[in-house]
Structure 1
Amino acid sequence: MQKIDIALISAQYKNIDGYSWTSDGSNKSAIWTMGHIKPQSKMMTAKHGFTWVKTKGIYFFSCYAPPSLTAEEYERMLTALAFEARGKHPVLIAGDFNAWSTTWGSTRTSRRGRVLLESLAPFDLELLNVPGKFTFQTERGCSIVDPAFANSTIVRNATWTVSSTYTYSDHKAITIDILMGVENSDFRPQRAQKRGWKRQSFDPEVFNMSWNACLTLDSAGELKAEGMTAVVSNCLSKACDGTMPRLSGRPHRKAVYWWNSHIAKIRGDCNRVRRKLKRACGTPAVDALLAQHKTCKATLKKAIQANKNRCFKELCDSVNVDPWGKGHKVVMRTVKNPRGPQPTCPALLRVVVSTLFPY
């Protein structure tokens, strides 16, 4: 039997009592952390259609959008999902969206698929699905309605597969294996940034709109006394994020794209020989160590260049699969000037769109 650490569940039969089980407000999506995996934090206020849990430094979102939802209800759920996911990194969003799109291999793009992609567009998310791999099968046919999205730091170290395990459902079980080894520097805890904003760009009118929108989205269900402080603090932080840019703290230095465990081992061997060479100065062993150090440096240089070539080839191949994916982002970062922070408040964006496009 395959060992599962975290289960993202849609349309569950019943809920389980305990801190390891987290369900949405409609009891149609849930997250179950198993074994020694414990939630670091979880959603304080239950929303309809999705819930989230943070564990192992990753935010996991489980979603379910039943076919009975109207177009307005579907868009409202995705707006709340995007609002809740803002500021959370790294993040993995998966579930049964009942949405079709050629992006994940469907023969057509439905309204739901287009709205889903538009809602997640502001985030640095990539598709985990293997395009064309069916996730739903009945006697009438097959389809792909269970897309999964994640940040590039997760996608580089994850494997998405459709399991052959019988689920007593028309939906197939999907497994996502995420490499969390010590050599993977993408998941190292980041240093805390300054908790502040650039107050000189404060706009009272925009802040009021962001605050009212946050209260509207967080008003589903009654708040318990112990969760009131956390919810109000979260709304205040989101309203400030929608009004002012953050103060720039000391940025976390991320690993370069070509770095892997093999290169780390070669670099460690090279440094080990270099230290021996320094200690051997003035001894008969210095010539042999000098030649060994040159060999290690040449091996390290070749390994780095080979992995750079491999990453570039993978980037070029990915353009054929997803023209608007990572390859497009890399090119646009080169040809465009740095841009300032874009507005993300749903209420403010709604006013901007209605003003620019009144009809």
Structure 2
Amino acid sequence: MMRILQLNLNHCETTQDLLCDTISRLRIDVAILCEQYKNLAPPNTWLADADGQAAIWVQGGISVQERPARVHPYFTWARIGGIFFFSVYAPPRLSGIEFSALLANITEEAHGTRPLVIAGDFNAWSTKWGCRATRPRAPILLDSLALLDAVLLNTGVVPTFNGRQGSSVVDLTFVSEPLAPRVLSWTMSGSYTHSDYQAIVFEIEDAGTSTRPSTRQSCRCNARTLDADHFSAVVSGASVAPGTAEDMVSSLMDVITGRCDASMTKANPSRRREPVYWWTAEIADLRRSCLRARRLFQTSRGRQDEEAHGANYARRLLRAAIKTSKRRCWRQLRDEVDSDI
């Protein structure tokens, strides 16, 4: 079983800091990232594009079986656990010709690579994945990835981006069609990211593993980690496509399972990971405060200025607490080294 996180870091230091805790808490194996704050050096297993716009961060000592012979602008890839993962960022500034050229480079690099995951922020709008309108990039994207027999995992209409200029679904996840049945869930995580972007979490079952619900280990969740507010909000807003009673029940159970995966961590003691060195109870409380403030802002009517001020204040407190904790840990390490000399 491989657990994947996808997120646009928006070039934010605090967002990348919080990602470390999210990866540990949600037991992530592979992080598909774009607009990173900085590239990480060894011993981190970190693969990046030529421009610092896309990255893949491999966790837990998992080996990278293949990687690009040379770096490319706006995308990178790696073969991990037999699966080829592509991380992509297509900036809004790219012209239609430049966007087409980027996709041509990706499809050329991905030719003959299966199974395949292509994920990232494409800045492409389409009603097919929940946007209010379809813009020229969308058909170019779909036509290009059709050459790779890729299908879209995004479900529902929950925005992946919520900013001052509005909301949109621009973070997309595609997989090669034969891989799709092995994807157990695709859902928006309720974790606070300190970014305008939401994290996406999904799982890929090992090849040849039974998918019967009665024996699926991934359904074992740690109820003590439940984010009840997030679970209630997303389930109440879930939609099920009309069909037979059996199909509707199956679809609803898929929604509930996906929301459980995003709202709780798995009960798997063998994969327990330690929190990041600078994490404190104060930072955890401030992160929860930021999450509450963000939800109030998103649901406010006529009080957006007031709620925006509260959200910004909570963000500043969190950012300051992380920096203070890092400095304190660095001083402690330095003092310990000095005392050993």
TM-score, normalisation: structure 2: 0.53
Aligned letter for 1:74?
Answer: F
Cα distance in 1 for residues equivalent to 2:131 and 2:27: 30
User: After the TM superposition, which residues 5-24 of structure 1 pair with which residues of structure 2 at under 5 Å, given as runs?
Assistant: 5-18=29-42, 20-24=45-49
1:120-151 CA distances to partner (integer Å, 9 max, x unpaired)?
11222111111312100113321100111002
The verdict on how the C-alpha distance between 1:263 and 1:170 changes in structure 2, with shifts beyond 3 A counting, is closer
In the TM superposition, what is the alpha-carbon distance from 1:28 to its structure 2 partner? Answer: 0.6
1:255-304 CA distances to partner (integer Å, 9 max, x unpaired)?
xxxxx55899xxxxxxxxxxxxxxxxxxxxxxxxxxxxxxxxxxxxxxxx
1:151 corresponds in structure 2 to 176
Aligned letter for 2:109?
Answer: E
In the TM superposition, what is the alpha-carbon distance from 1:8 to its structure 2 partner? Answer: 0.5
1:130 counterpart = 2:155: yes
1:83 counterpart = 2:108: yes
In the TM superposition, what is the alpha-carbon distance from 1:89 to its structure 2 partner? Answer: 0.4
1:220-263 CA distances to partner (integer Å, 9 max, x unpaired)?
xxxxxxxxxxxxxxxxxxxxxxxxxxxxxxxxxxxxxxxx5589
Which residue of the other structure, out of 14, 22, 26, is the alignment partner of 1:2? Answer: 26
Aligned letter for 1:21?
Answer: W
In the TM superposition, what is the alpha-carbon distance from 1:182 to its structure 2 partner? Answer: 5.3
Whose radius of gyration is greater, 1 or 2? 1
Higher strand residue share:
2
Cα distance in 2 for residues equivalent to 1:86 and 1:57: 15
1:120 corresponds in structure 2 to 145
The verdict on how the C-alpha distance between 1:106 and 1:15 changes in structure 2, with shifts beyond 3 A counting, is same
Q: Contact 1:24 / 1:51 at 8 angstroms: preserved in 2? A: yes
Q: Contact 1:29 / 1:51 at 8 angstroms: preserved in 2? A: yes
The verdict on how the C-alpha distance between 1:2 and 1:263 changes in structure 2, with shifts beyond 3 A counting, is closer
Which residue of the other structure, out of 47, 63, 68, is the alignment partner of 1:43? Answer: 68
Aligned letter for 2:118?
Answer: I
Cα distance in 1 for residues equivalent to 2:53 and 2:137: 18
Q: Contact 2:182 / 2:207 at 8 angstroms: preserved in 1? A: no
User: After the TM superposition, which residues 131-280 of structure 1 pair with which residues of structure 2 at under 5 Å, given as runs?
Assistant: 131-158=156-183, 159-180=185-206, 183-184=209-210, 260-261=211-212
1:54 corresponds in structure 2 to 79
Structure 2: runs of 5 or more not aligned: 1-24, 216-245, 252-341
1:191-244 CA distances to partner (integer Å, 9 max, x unpaired)?
xxxxxxxxxxxxxxxxxxxxxxxxxxxxxxxxxxxxxxxxxxxxxxxxxxxxxx
In the TM superposition, what is the alpha-carbon distance from 1:36 to its structure 2 partner? Answer: 2.6
Cα distance in 2 for residues equivalent to 1:151 and 1:182: 17
Aligned letter for 1:6?
Answer: V
In the TM superposition, what is the alpha-carbon distance from 1:109 to its structure 2 partner? Answer: 1.2
1:65-93 CA distances to partner (integer Å, 9 max, x unpaired)?
11111222111111101111110000000
Q: Contact 2:149 / 2:176 at 8 angstroms: preserved in 1? A: yes
Cα distance in 2 for residues equivalent to 1:153 and 1:74: 27
Cα distance in 2 for residues equivalent to 1:109 and 1:67: 15
The verdict on how the C-alpha distance between 1:168 and 1:117 changes in structure 2, with shifts beyond 3 A counting, is same
2:337 corresponds in structure 1 to none
Cα distance in 1 for residues equivalent to 2:143 and 2:137: 10
> Which of the pair has the greater relative contact order for Cα pairs under 8 Å at 6+ separation?
2
Cα distance in 2 for residues equivalent to 1:26 and 1:262: 43
Name the SS of the counterpart of 1:108 in structure 2.
Answer: coil
Cα distance in 2 for residues equivalent to 1:262 and 1:137: 34
Structure 1: runs of 5 or more not aligned: 185-259, 265-312, 319-359
In the TM superposition, what is the alpha-carbon distance from 1:108 to its structure 2 partner? Answer: 1.4
Cα distance in 2 for residues equivalent to 1:61 and 1:181: 19
Cα distance in 1 for residues equivalent to 2:101 and 2:213: 46
In the TM superposition, what is the alpha-carbon distance from 1:114 to its structure 2 partner? Answer: 1.4
Name the SS of the counterpart of 1:119 in structure 2.
Answer: helix
User: After the TM superposition, which residues 261-300 of structure 1 pair with which residues of structure 2 at under 5 Å, given as runs?
Assistant: 261=212
Name the SS of the counterpart of 2:202 in structure 1.
Answer: strand
Which residue of the other structure, out of 70, 86, 103, is the alignment partner of 2:128? Answer: 103
Which residue of the other structure, out of 71, 77, 81, is the alignment partner of 2:96? Answer: 71
Cα distance in 2 for residues equivalent to 1:92 and 1:126: 10
Aligned letter for 2:206?
Answer: M
The verdict on how the C-alpha distance between 1:137 and 1:84 changes in structure 2, with shifts beyond 3 A counting, is same
Cα distance in 2 for residues equivalent to 1:110 and 1:182: 39
